[in-house]
A and B are shown apart, each in its own frame.
Chain A
Amino acid sequence: MRGQTDLWTLAVIVGLAAVTVLTRCFFFILDRPWGLPDWAHRALHYAPAAALAAVIAPEILMTNGQFIHTWQDARLYGALAGVLWYFWRGGVLGTMLAGMAVYLPLHLMLHW
């Protein structure tokens, strides 16, 4: 699907927009007040971080569906630099810049 538009992807994108509306308006779409069951309330605390970790871990640790077998991978050091920056200074932008500052030289010059 590289660079090509397909209707299925567009349909999923419209679905994601519906998810944005549903989650941002969750408790005020209906007129009557209501609450979440307890288990759902607890799940709210772990699911968002878990979902993001599940998406990014393979992007950092795997190549073509295989766990990487080398330390010479620029993504490892880029991600590590990003995490360190986040806990030192915080902020999405700084984390991204710090990670890219480590990732790009390793990736472009050493071809890691």
Chain B
Amino acid sequence: MFLSPAIRRHPAFREGWRDMAPIAIGIGAWGLMTGVAMLKAGMSVIESMAMTLLVFAGSSQLAAIPLLIAGAPAWVVLATGFCVNLRFVVFSLHLRPYLMHMPRWRRILHGYLTADMSYALFTRRFPQPGDDPVQRAAEEAYLVGGYAINWCVWMGMSLLGIALANFIPTQWGLGFAGVLSLVAVTCSMATTPLRVLAVLIAAATAVAAFALPFKLNIVAAIGAAVLLCFLLEKQLGLNPDAEDER
């Protein structure tokens, strides 16, 4: 959307925008709640706005809030954000053939603005990367159309949430809505028995090791869950490729 008018005038831009529109309602509600949750957890208006405008990743923002409030060291916050965002690493491998013909800054801008739903819609609309300029132009315009509305709705509603949060008393506990959203995202990732086990091990470790300094209980929990599931996967002789498909 910040790019050339050539993209905005391409018919695929409108198509991408239209396909994303119904989903954007849900994204907007989540953004509104994230904005409220940031302020209600105790972040300042400036910090909340900076986080909204720069980070642009709902689950990693919500996961970072309690760590920032607790004064966790920067590397723990960043490592947690990285782990929460690891799914994007998988997406980026999938998107690579669609983007490699572009200059680097343009790839990085598209990558930064392509969140979960933009990625899902884009790869459903274009299952195969095109190798001629006509399809490549359509791909880019469709991708930009989808993430443009996604970005506008997310930003608008998050900023609205930050503005409204001042009128809501903290005692109401609306910050808990942020935790509940993460509950949903966690459930959506627990798609195999071993991943459910990873969730339970991580939850138990994070609570049991809570007394560790610097919020290291989070790092310990991720490490314990990944290692144990890794070992179990080997013990049970599961086929990694079959697990990948789920």
Residues 84-106 of B, flagged 1 when their CB comes within 8 A of A and 0 if not, give 11111111110110011000100
User: Which residues of A have CB within 8 Å of B201?
Assistant: 50
A49 touches B47 (CB 8 A): no
Q: Is B218 an interface residue (CB 8 A)?
A: yes
Q: Known contacts A5-B46, A11-B74: does B81 contact A19 (CB below 8 Å)?
A: yes
Contact with B along A21-52 (1 / 0, CB 8 A): 11111111101010010010111111111111
Q: Is the CB of B111 within 8 A of A21?
A: yes
- Of the four ranges (under 10, 10 to 19, 20 to 34, 35 or more), the interface on chain B belongs to 35 or more
Take A47-B83, A47-B222, A50-B226 as given contacts and tell me if A10 and B111 are in contact as well, using a CB distance cutoff of 8 Å. Answer: no
Contacts A56-B183, A95-B181 given; indicate if A50 touches B202 (C-beta within 8 A). yes
Instruction: List chain A residues, Cβ under 8 A from B217.
Output: 54, 58
Which one of A10, A23, A103, A108 lies within 8 Å of B85 (CB-CB)? Answer: A23
Q: Is B54 an interface residue (CB 8 A)?
A: yes
Q: Give every chain B residue within 8 A of A110 (Cβ-Cβ).
A: none
Binding site for B on A (CB under 8 A): 1-5, 8-17, 19-29, 31, 33, 36, 39, 41-62, 65, 67, 74-75, 78-79, 82-83, 86-87, 90-93, 95-96, 99-100, 103-104, 107-108
